[in-house]
Chains A and B, each alone.
Chain A
Amino acid sequence: MTLDELPRSPGEWLKGNGPESDIVICSRIRLARNLADFPFISKASRSEKSEIVTQIRESISESNSKLNYFDVERMSELDRQFLVERHLISRELKEGEGPRGVALNDDESASIMVNEEDHLRVQVMRSGFALLQAWEQIDDLDNRLEEHLDIAFSQELGYLSACPTNVGTGIRVGVMLHLPALGQTNHLDKFFRALQKINLSVRGLHGEGTQPYGDFYQISNQQTLGKSEPELIKSLSDVIPQLIEYERKARQTLLTERRQVLHDQVSRAYGVLKTAHTISSEETMLLLSSVRMGINLGLIDDLEIAQVNELFINTQPAHLQKIHGQTLAVDERNVLRASFLRKRLTEMRDGPPSE
């Protein structure tokens, strides 16, 4: 597998076919792990980082995990950004220094970042609300890697991580939600404050340090020590169905009380995407967010969620440039994005052009 083959598929997390996928975009679990015999990244020399990469790559191939390794240090800026947009690497890994990389499986459901904040950041993403499936997959992958690695662990404190906020289980359980109707009410802040009281955090699309945008939110655990992985997963599994329920109710209320306004908003968004001649990635995301809600409410009937998801991913800057085959300035990208949207939306409505 090469990176150039990836844009042809939407990636596991944007498939749009998982449980509750009208509201839950994807479920994500990551585990932070470190090798016992090396300093953490901030104190690791270049040669130590190289050795860490070597040991982890060996463990990946010995564990028969069917993952392909990509060297992020030697990768072009465009490819790094491309992987960030697909949520396969973090911004921290993209902007890091020294030997580092990522191992991916073919359907992009699993990724292992090497030499990010911790030596290993194992991640599994599943479409829709599927935390248990994600846990089973990542637990198995983690077990197989650990058979070949000496992991930093203490009986008292669990898995030892570079940042004390991850110590213990090293687990971050997250669910990415699309909450456009709740976003139009004044209740969202209230819900989020309630979540924070039970140690859950609310973040933007790209996790830590990012602002929510286009009504997409990530909800994840903050506590990692003193509770087992299934308990921490349950703390999210218990609360997410309530949020889904509130969002559904808010959507129905909007439909009955403000149907015309809502239909107008959704149709205008769709209209702009079909006809614009230059458009930024931010505007595209906001409009696609409206269109996505319109499909879920039956206000748009000639487009599917999976197709909107494909547009979400492929209209991001690095994806657009990779599909186009060259780097472009912002203005050129905006023109290309608009023409890509016009073309794809026509094809999606009328079926693909005959070959």
Chain B
Amino acid sequence: MSGKNLLKAIILGDSGVGKTSLMNQYVNKKFSNQYKATIGADFLTKEVMVDDKLITIQIWDTAGQERFQSLGVAFYRGADCCMLVYDVNNMKSFETLDNWRDEFLVQASPKHPESFPFIVLGNKIDLEESKRQISQKRAMAWCQSKGNIPYFETSAKEAINVEQAFQQIARNALMQEADVPEFNFPPSVSLDAEQKQDQGDCNC
């Protein structure tokens, strides 16, 4: 496993699906029923143990509103993982997952788009079953078709599966990190990368 101990995670999804709530539930263990649109982007950090390793996750919350979707590339660049969130009671928010994924890939242009660690969260499962519009089966089929993206059904309100989802994404991101040296670009590049990693260790 690599020496990196800071992970940058980005949360994407339509407006109102609960991105900020998920982040707040995970980091602050708090939930508010009031809706407040996120403006621009915001981030929180949390330290977490992944397989006996202390990792700091930096979670970047984004605005789902179209107006704020022109976030700079700097925002996406260097992301180690990406969480796609939809509302299981809102068909449109599920159908736009494709779009969010594509948008992320173009903006971040990761070296290995096929194996980039995504995770899909179907949020708001605490609402009554009759309101639900997307079945677990359908969501899982979508995840499967996009290269076996892990899928979690969550409730930011009831704190269901939130911890588990973040744990999973941290683990996947670290595994992706470990894959990097396989990248067959010339020695000059990987040498740089190693140096950077060394610096990272010294910073503690």
A binds B: no
